[in-house]
Chains A and B, each alone.
Chain A
Amino acid sequence: MVVLRFIDKFNLQIQIMKKPIIQGLITILLFFGTWFALTQIDWMKVFKVQQVTDKTEQKLGELFWEVFKKSEKEIKNTQVVNSVDSIVTQICKANKIDRDKLKVHVLNKDEINAFALPNGHLIIYSGLILNSDNQEELAGVICHEIAHIELSHVMKKLVKEIGLSVLISMTTGNSGAEVIKETAKMLSSSAFDRSLEKEADIKAVDYLINANVNPELFADFLYKLSDSEHEATKYFTWISTHPDSKERAEYIIEYSKGKLTEYKPILSNETWDKLKAALKD
């Protein structure tokens, strides 16, 4: 008797509860349904988000490149341009990267440095080429910078460091020349987040292997540069901005282990020597 009364009471409770539960579930479904239906529309296209982003990046790339173009001399020597271009083209071809997207510039400066600017501008200082013992070291640094470009690290860093509003005001000419100069300097002389650097290193190793370039020589380069005894320490901008070279060298070696294939140089030894000779002149 007691049990029956309990069941009756329980059934009544269920009956009362049923309505709000069903209505609640319908409401939740309605919300997710609306959301799902709305995701079927390509809002990025409707609001031209990508177009605006691309335009901003393009304009920023031009602005920053202007800064370096004014302060440094671009090397136009055909030997230098062609040799660097061969390395970049080979890396792009092996990794299915759009070569036309990259704008490579070699600047005459003693600093051992290379960096990426927005819109695919890749700046290499002559000091880096002259201090690379072999072309694989140079290819490694180039791959690392291409990885930053391909993984959109440059714009991410800019947005994080100076904010989207300042970036947009730069492109519309509402920002002073000094701000643009300072930001360009920041891009050339400071590292990305540790995680982004590691991501770029790992990607660089993939690029190198695909292009049949030995990544261990890139790791050796980092080892070498982490050695404070090295004669050109004072010029090691690329290293001072990329901390923990030893650690980086170690995980590069670790990652490239077991991936050994047949490596072959991109440039002939003769071309590599000629490139260095042309830069020394």
Chain B
Amino acid sequence: MIHIKQFSYEPGEHEAETASSSYLMSLIAIIVGLPLPIVNLIATLIFYLGNRKSTYFVRWHCTQALLSQLSMLFINSFGFWWTISIIFTDETITSKYIAYIIAAIIFNLTEFVATIYTAIQTRKGIHVEWWFYGSLTNLICKSKS
């Protein structure tokens, strides 16, 4: 699911630090905005916008962090509104709902672990490409040279 690949150039110390921060950003935002699934997306988006003119390595990792948050947004928003409708409307708890929440938790946890791992690796200047998000980022984020 996660591949360590050779990047087109060796990132400098400062680049590795910024790239690693883009992942940390989403982790911190998860803690702050746990009930609201949109907070971590906004945090990574702000970080992405702030670094979009940065070096290739930084841009690449900011994009991957942002994309991974985007898909979690769909899963989490659906679960969030389903929960709200159970609390405030006639909707009741069903096996389907519990199964969805468990599936969402599994995916969130996987993403959480992958984010921590990637944050550590990128800090060391190691280039990590995720399954799907990595190849998607390669399409969006191009080297300027």
Contact = CB atoms under 8 A, between A and B. Distances in A.
Contacts of B13: none
B95 A41 contact: yes
Nearest to B136: A20
A156 interface: yes
Contact of B139 (A20, A49, A160): A20
B136 A156 contact: no
A207 B100 CA distance: 37
Interface string A32-66: 00110011011110010100000000000000000
Interface in A2-55: 16-17, 19-20, 23-24, 26-27, 31, 34-35, 38-39, 41-44, 47, 49
A66 B50 CA distance: 65
Given A23-B131, A34-B103, A49 B75 contact: no
Contacts of A20: 132, 135-136, 138-139
Given A31-B75, A49-B93, A156-B90, A24 B136 contact: yes
A62 to B, nearest CB: 22
A19 B135 contact: yes
Nearest to A193: B90
A27 B96 contact: no
B139 A41 contact: no
B98 interface: yes
Interface of A is mostly: helix
Interface in A178-220: none
A39 B90 contact: no
Interface string A155-172: 010001000100000000
A18 to B, nearest CB: 9
B87 to A, nearest CB: 8
Contacts of B139: 16-17, 20
Interface string B85-98: 00110100111101
A200 to B, nearest CB: 14
A160 B86 CA distance: 10
Interface in A131-186: 156, 160, 164
Contacts of B132: 20, 23-24, 26-27
A277 B96 CA distance: 54
A34 B106 contact: yes
A245 to B, nearest CB: 25
B59 to A, nearest CB: 18
Given A17-B139, A27-B132, A35 B93 contact: no
A23 B98 contact: no
Given A27-B71, A27-B131, A44-B95, 17 more contacts: A19-B135, A20-B136, A24-B132, A24-B136, A31-B75, A31-B103, A34-B106, A38-B98, A38-B99, A39-B95, A39-B96, A41-B99, A42-B95, A49-B93, A156-B90, A160-B88, A164-B87
17 contacts: A16-B139, A20-B132, A20-B138, A20-B139, A23-B135, A27-B131, A31-B75, A34-B103, A34-B106, A34-B107, A35-B100, A38-B103, A43-B95, A43-B98, A44-B98, A156-B90, A160-B88
Interface of A: 16-17, 19-20, 23-24, 26-27, 31, 34-35, 38-39, 41-44, 47, 49, 156, 160, 164
Interface of B: 71, 75, 87-88, 90, 93-96, 98-100, 102-103, 106-107, 131-132, 135-136, 138-139
The 5 A-B residue pairs with the shortest CB-CB distance, nearest first, are A38-B99, A43-B98, A23-B132, A20-B135, A39-B99
